[in-house]
Structure 1
Amino acid sequence: MKEYWNRIVDKELDLRLEAFGATLIVGPKWCGKTTTAEEKAKSVLKMQDPDMREGYLATANAKPSLLLKGENPRLIDEWQEAPILWDAVRTAVDVRQEEGLFILTGSTSVDNSQIHHTGTGRISRMKMYPMSLYESKESTGAISLKELFDNSESDIDGVMSMMRIEDLIFAACRGGWPSALRKKSDAAKLIVANDYLKNVCETDISTVDGVMRNSVLAEMILRSYARNISTLAKKNSIYKDVVANVESLSMPTLDSYITAFTRLFVIEDIDAWCPAIRSATTIRSGKKRGFIDPSIAVAALGLSPDYLEKDLKTFGFIFECMCIRDLKIYSQPLKGKVSHYHDRYDLEADAVLHIGDGRYALIEFKLGSAEIEEGAKHLLKIKELVRNYNETEKQVPLREPDLLIVITGGNMAYTRPDGVKIIPIGCLKD
């Protein structure tokens, strides 16, 4: 029996099963949704079982309630193979008026055109990501994000990360895929992300909504996205990049591919935080280009750990993607949401992490120690802008940031005299 690696969402799933009749777990393929759900389920229905799939689909069309029979919580894996199951689950929850009846998993976002009811109040939605560095047992977890928010004065000085730059590069190239972590050799661990990319571009990009798409074009679009990872590149720039290598591509076609990749949880852009501290015309409200896992970008670019060790500038962008992935995972129990701030004066915060109660942190990602000073200055300047705004706009004051953090690829954590916390990514946990 294979070992189960504990996930940060385990406790959240317990809570949702206690609170709702059904819970839908969404996220990219291979991130561990089914394995996590099986830890809680008492019976399992796998819609993609090749021996049973046709029979399951026939039953779903004739009487879907028959597929819901089984000990609860009942896991219905890849439910979207028979979208009618969504409404069947919602009806069963209404009739039985119980909690923790069903767990649904899916690797694509819900297509509302194929269901009759959103499931609000009956079916709770929970997102899963590939594994963070703490879940893969690479981060020491000596510094808790929750504890930092609860006590910004907590002493972190001297806390050490065991991860070298080489370790961070390898972790980014390998990704947070549970199947990769079980492999014995480094070569086998690294091939998983490449295979993931191939599957997405050759199969999933067309099956997600039944629209046949070109696998070569799909890979070219992801490669362009990867070249622009962690930047505010406009869609026009990606379009021009791709059409330079193909005979013809319309903007609607590009939109179609990007929508499909988003529904597959392959790409995940970061929205802008646009507070009133500067004129709306000076704040860049564009999205920052991102992936659900940094290994997809590495695979799309055809890079390797050896290459990135010699090109730390490129790795800096990939490092940011890995940090954002981990921040999203660590902040999930706090109902976290990640955005970014950037204005035309080049004042920026790589990430703005808001949690559910209104508190937030301004965060910069700096791979090396030489860049820490610049990152800290940016964060302090934004805090000053908020403070100045509050002094002039007394009617609707804006909350000052609760934390200023520079997340690094270094080894030692400490708090600067100005209050900015310097934290290696290899020290963090939820």
Structure 2
Amino acid sequence: MKKYLPRYLDKELEFALNSIGAVLIVGPKWCGKTTTAKQHSKSIIQLQDPRYSDSYIKIANTEPLTLLEGETPRLIDEWQMAPKLWDAVRYSVDEKDGKGLYILTGSTVVDDSKIMHSGTGRIHRLTMRPMSLYESGDSNGKISLLELFENPNLNINLIKSNLTIKDIIYLACRGGWPESLSLETEKEQLFIAKSYIKNICEIDTSRIDNVKRDPGKVNALLRSYARNISTLAKNTTIFNDINKQYEITEPTFYSYLNVLKRLFVIEDVLPWSPNIRSSQTIKKTPKKEFIDPSIAVAALNLNPKILLYDLNTFGFIFETLCIRDLKVYSSLKEGKVQYYNDKNGLEVDCVLTLNNGKYALIEFKLGSNEEEKAAKNLLRLDKLIKEKIALGDVNIPEPSFLAIITAGSMAYTREDGIKVIPIGCLS
């Protein structure tokens, strides 16, 4: 039996089970939802089990409460295969009036029209992402992101990462897929992301709602998205790009895009706009991102050797890696990742906000040659925020800290107070 590697979601799930009747874990396929849910459940029903799947779905459509019988917490894996179970769980939670009764897992967002009630107050939703570098054992985790929020003066000087730029490129290509960690060779590990893309294109985008979709067009969309990763490219750019290869209508394009979001493949980053500038000057286009950097690598048919000699391209992929990890590390505080970009030329890669209102300004840069530009942007935005606070124009606190996350080897605090943190040190 494989050794279970603890996930940040474990603590979130444990807390939720002690607080509410049922918990729904959503996220992309192969990210470890079922494995983690099993650690917290006492009975299980797997709707995708080929031996019983047809029978389960028939029962779910006629007597759904029957499938909920069992020791609790009861895990209902891939529940979206029988949407009526949602309302059954909600009803059961009301009837039993208990906590931690059910855990549901699913790899797609279900059409709301197929369920009667939202589940508010009965079913809590958690999002699981592929593994962060710390969860996979690649980051040494010596610098805690949440501790920095509590203690911005934390001494990080001389803390070293064990990862080289070559290591980080490989880890971005491999991705955070738990299954890859059990494979012996690099070739096998890199194959997981390629297989993931193939399944998405050929099977999952059509199976999600039983609407046949062209695998070639899905693949073209993913490639175009990957070419524009970590940028503010508009959807029209992606649409026009695909039309160079395939004839596709605008409604069809947006239906494909929506399906990839429902499958948790695409996870765009929204702009941060606390009214520190006129709303007309803030760019509002979502930043194009995938839930894991390996998706971009596989979609573009890249590999570690190619990216080692194309650091410009890898810089955009590195940003996706950092965003994934920041979301995982801040998940206990419901961290929200956004970006800042205005028409006056001021931009910052990331504004990370916690549920207590604290936030940090963060830039992602591969090496020291970009450090000064990143620091200048952070300090400009920090100054602008403080000026607006002093004038009473905004009702927000000052940033908890400013940081540059790098692919470098050593952490330190600059004279201007900005933290420089290797991604291989974060947890």
Counterpart code for 1:77: D
Counterpart code for 2:328: I
Deviation at 1:275, TM superposition (A): 2.4
Please, which of 402, 414, 418 is the counterpart of residue 416 of structure 1?
414
- Verify: 1:195 aligned to 2:190, yes or no: no
Residue matched to 1:374: 373
Q: Distance in 2 between matches of 1:328 and 1:213?
A: 31
Deviation at 1:290, TM superposition (A): 0.1
Deviation at 1:62, TM superposition (A): 1.9
Residue matched to 2:282: 283
Q: Distance in 2 between matches of 1:122 and 1:276?
A: 35
Pairing 1:85-96 to 2, within 5 Å after superposition: 85-96=85-96
Pairing 1:200-279 to 2, within 5 Å after superposition: 200-246=200-246, 248-279=247-278
Deviation at 1:402, TM superposition (A): 1.1
2:346–2:377 Cα contact (<8 Å) kept: yes
Q: Distance in 1 between matches of 2:9 and 2:424?
A: 20
Deviation at 1:346, TM superposition (A): 2.4
Deviation at 1:395, TM superposition (A): 5.8
Matched residue SS, 1:362: strand
Residue matched to 2:186: 186
RMSD: 0.9
Residue matched to 1:427: 425
Q: Distance in 2 between matches of 1:397 and 1:90?
A: 39
Please, which of 400, 403, 409 is the counterpart of residue 402 of structure 1?
400
Q: Distance in 2 between matches of 1:24 and 1:111?
A: 15
Residue matched to 1:83: 83
Matched residue SS, 1:108: coil
Matched residue SS, 1:19: coil
Deviates more, 1:56-65 or 1:360-369: 56-65
TM-score normalized by the length of structure 2: 0.99
Residue matched to 2:319: 320
Pairing 1:22-41 to 2, within 5 Å after superposition: 22-41=22-41
Matched residue SS, 2:18: helix
Residue matched to 1:334: 333
Q: Distance in 2 between matches of 1:89 and 1:227?
A: 42
Counterpart code for 2:316: F
List per-residue Cα deviations over 1:257-309 (Å, max 9, x = no partner): 11000000000000001122222222111100000000001000000000000
- Identity of counterpart residues, as a percentage? 54
1:427–1:183: structure 2 CA closer, same or farther, 3 Å change rule?
Answer: same
2:139–2:423 Cα contact (<8 Å) kept: yes
Deviation at 1:397, TM superposition (A): 3.5
Give runs of ≥4 in structure 1 deviating > 3 Å. Answer: 395-398
Pairing 1:135-174 to 2, within 5 Å after superposition: 135-174=135-174
List per-residue Cα deviations over 1:305-357 (Å, max 9, x = no partner): 00000100000000000000000000000111000001123211101000011
TM-score normalized by the length of structure 1: 0.98
Q: Distance in 1 between matches of 2:102 and 2:32?
A: 18
Aligned residues: 427
Residue matched to 2:296: 297
Deviation at 1:251, TM superposition (A): 1.4
Q: Distance in 2 between matches of 1:121 and 1:275?
A: 29
Deviation at 1:391, TM superposition (A): 3.1
Pairing 1:381-392 to 2, within 5 Å after superposition: 381-392=380-391
Q: Distance in 2 between matches of 1:319 and 1:395?
A: 35
Deviation at 1:186, TM superposition (A): 0.6
Matched residue SS, 2:271: coil
Matched residue SS, 2:270: coil
Q: Distance in 2 between matches of 1:115 and 1:206?
A: 21
Matched residue SS, 1:407: strand
Q: Distance in 2 between matches of 1:229 and 1:267?
A: 10
2:405–2:422 Cα contact (<8 Å) kept: yes
List per-residue Cα deviations over 1:194-214 (Å, max 9, x = no partner): 000000010110111222110
Residue matched to 1:48: 48
Deviation at 1:68, TM superposition (A): 0.6
Deviation at 1:109, TM superposition (A): 1.3
Residue matched to 2:348: 349
Matched residue SS, 1:72: coil
List per-residue Cα deviations over 1:86-137 (Å, max 9, x = no partner): 0111111110001111100000113211000011111110110000000000
Residue matched to 2:116: 116
Structure 2 unaligned blocks of 5 or more: none
Q: Distance in 2 between matches of 1:167 and 1:391?
A: 45
Residue matched to 1:105: 105
Matched residue SS, 2:380: helix
Q: Distance in 2 between matches of 1:6 and 1:145?
A: 18
Q: Distance in 2 between matches of 1:111 and 1:397?
A: 37
Q: Distance in 2 between matches of 1:72 and 1:340?
A: 41
